[in-house]
Amino acid sequence: MKTMTKEFDALQVQFAGGTYALDANQPNTGWRQLVAGSGAFVCSTYFDLAGMTKEDETLFFKGATVQEVINPTFTPAAAGDNMFVVDLMTKVPLTDTEVQAYSVSANMLGVLSSTLTFEQTVYGRVRFMNIDVDNLAGSMTIPLCDNQSGSLSPSASDRIYCYRYVSITQSQAGFSTLFAARYLLQAEAKQEPDLQYIMRLKRSYELQNQPDRD
């Protein structure tokens, strides 16, 4: 069994004049703003699994999680400031719209549901982090909800796609910070019966080569 890691840089955002922007004084490596002026940002990467498999083996995932340092902060903080934070590992590449939709309905039925299925979701986590009157002085958010989903189902694909998405709401000029994170994915390569492996390989190929949905 092998434990693989992917790291995401911290995100620091400046809010002024009613618009949000990446703080030019911070690296914010890999982060991009989805719409100019909006509080929505995403960072993406992937696990390259091609080197893990040999002799037509299938990857069986044993566990997945996200490691963080501390909760997001607002400076200065005001009651009601908040962040939606999504951490996501999938077998298929997603559009920005689909990543955003995951924060509302994950891979479950719903008006804003993504086309992402339960089987395609290796791991997903959605949190709503908030400032209230009790933690106002510390400027650090507290979680109002923290929910996880995902199948950890086996894959013959050579990539697992990783997305970190945040939607920020801030009421006064200042900064908000989402701290660095590390994705952990444990997997073990095993052989399957030929027919089962071929069908899984076919499905993985179809998922990775589906038409763009931008």
Q: What is the pLDDT of residues 48-62, one digit of tens each?
A: 988 766 666 788 999
Tokens linked to 156: 């013959």
User: How far is Cα 152 from Cα 118, in angstroms, rounded to an integer?
Assistant: 9
Question: With 70 as the cut, is the pLDDT of residue 140 above it?
Answer: yes
Q: What is the pLDDT of residues 65-88, one digit of tens each?
A: 999 999 999 999 999 999 999 999
User: How far is Cα 81 from Cα 62, in angstroms, rounded to an integer?
Assistant: 36
At residue 213 the predicted structure's pLDDT band, cuts being 50, 70 and 90, is very low
Dihedral pair phi/psi, residue 176, rounded to 5°:
-130, 145
Q: How many CB atoms lie within 10 A of CB 145?
A: 10
pTM for this model (two decimals): 0.87
User: How far is Cα 188 from Cα 3, in angstroms, rounded to an integer?
Assistant: 9
Fill in the DSSP letter of residue 212. P
